[in-house]
A and B are shown apart, each in its own frame.
Chain A
């Protein structure tokens, strides 16, 4: 296993926000799209984004799988056929909703606000255990990794047993180029401060997510054989909406992202609302304004509640390289996404106002921790990159099952499906090697 990031032991997690944002994400925190409205976040650490985001677990529904089947032609993308793979994935994690005793005022506004406008909000199923909120723990402190191993991040769930069974892991190695040969694949890259190294394997599984995988394959000249490489790139744009109250809300305390909108009407409209809150530097960055007005807001941060809107991108963007081999990210967002962003914003602000907010404000920018495609799955090699058995079209030794292979944006939290597809792909690889 080759990983560009470092391993961060729980005793020495980079806890200050400036440190975990800089060290645990590519490009020092975010990578901007061509409009500079959307900041892509992708983890760079052993465990990747699961150190921060291994939280909300959900099986995809027909609203996700239907468009996947339509565009990919792959018929196993159904709720029923994916069920056994989800069950295997769920068996690896401890998953549960947060006990209602720990529901905060921010959560109450979220849930009752949904009800007031005729929508359903339900507890999210979260991958965590023994968070000990009764001892005063706040999950917002675990965005740079969980210091008590409560979050079911990849290192503590699937990586640890794999290491015990003999997995070799090379942190701080950045893959730069691939060479596919009939008997295997060579990965050329750099270790730490630029020491060049190469590794050869019979099989290669790409797991660098859309930006990482696409960049690596484009640099390695795969576009000639994979014409769809770098196409069909999608995001969920996530906007924060803050309500300022006359009373303390304390949205930063206790459990995190406890509720989400689970409503077919919102699902059909292509957006979701979540009950979340950013840490201080993130709040200052996202909240519009500066100067003394900004200080006044930050000194009243306890009076802020927050609703996050997550907008499903329906239109494909592209990932390309410039002449210096830097990624050019086009999220493919259109007036339709803008319109749905406004509809979601209106609902979020109505929820905040209906429980006494004096002011409701949208974040200046969206962040995109969910990104998909670039190596989309499909049966047609002219329109896709990964076949239904997870090989790159025309390359029997190279596999991919992460979000870069998703045919389009599901509009749901993707972690459980990444795990389920990975288990399905690993079964495929083992069968082929047997």
Chain B
């Protein structure tokens, strides 16, 4: 597993969390089985540095925790309303962040050699599409390229 932002050990923790959130059901595959964690940089690369640091820290802490602790943490996050302000906010942040990572990887139907993205798409029956092809050529790339004040001098 290769990521510019997370170590293999941190990615293993993502897989463990993924297996709690998306454990598979016979038709849909288990998260870690898909190998979709390989695509995590498509998301992490656009996070602010402080969020990347927070993610790394969380993964480093959870790395040494057994799976039941991860399950407990995710269960507690669902009970956020019973906790006081800052604890509740942190539980929600955890929930939002982890669900965001796992479900974005899982349900974006990414191309992968083993075909798991397609299998998940078929598994839920997703068929959203835009079938029409544009009739006119797109003028915008040329216009925007020409409008950039840093464009190389012509000729």
Contacts and interface: CB of A to CB of B under 8 A. Distances in A.
For B74, B90, B146, the residue with the greatest tally of chain A CB atoms inside 10 Å of its CB is: B146
Interface residues of B, number: 62
A169 B147 contact: yes
Given A16-B109, A281-B104, A365 B96 contact: yes
Contact of A291 (B20, B123, B150): B20
A216 B108 CA distance: 34
Nearest to A39: B96
Contact of A11 (B27, B105, B138, B143): B138
Contact of B42 (A7, A19, A27, A252): A19
Contacts of B126: 252, 280, 301
Interface stretch (A112-120, A131-139, A396-404): A131-139
For B89, B96, B127, the residue with the greatest tally of chain A CB atoms inside 10 Å of its CB is: B96
A17 interface: yes
A168 B51 contact: no
Nearest to B27: A299
A291 B23 contact: yes
A284 B138 contact: no
A165 B143 CA distance: 10
Contact of B99 (A22, A140, A290): A290
A18 B128 contact: no
Nearest to A164: B143
Given A17-B107, A22-B42, A295-B22, A46 B125 contact: no
Interface in A294-333: 294-296, 298-299, 301-302, 324, 326
A28 B47 contact: yes
A354 interface: no
A28 B101 CA distance: 11
Contacts, number: 181
A35 B89 contact: yes
Interface of A: 7, 9-11, 16-19, 21-23, 27-30, 32, 34-37, 39, 46, 132, 135-138, 140-142, 146-149, 155-156, 160, 163-164, 167-171, 191, 252-253, 279-281, 283-285, 288, 290-292, 294-296, 298-299, 301-302, 324, 326, 364-365
B28 to A, nearest CB: 5
Q: What 7 A-B pairs come out closest when comparing CB atoms? A: A284-B103, A36-B92, A18-B108, A281-B107, A280-B107, A28-B46, A16-B108
Interface of B: 20-25, 27-28, 39, 42-48, 50-51, 74, 78, 85, 88-90, 92-93, 95-96, 99-100, 103-110, 123-134, 136, 138-141, 143-144, 146-150
A192 to B, nearest CB: 10
A23 B141 CA distance: 18
Contacts of A135: 131-132
A296 B23 CA distance: 11
Contacts of B45: 22
Given A169-B148, A279-B128, A28 B48 contact: yes
Contact of B141 (A9, A132, A169): A9
A244 to B, nearest CB: 14
B25 A292 contact: yes
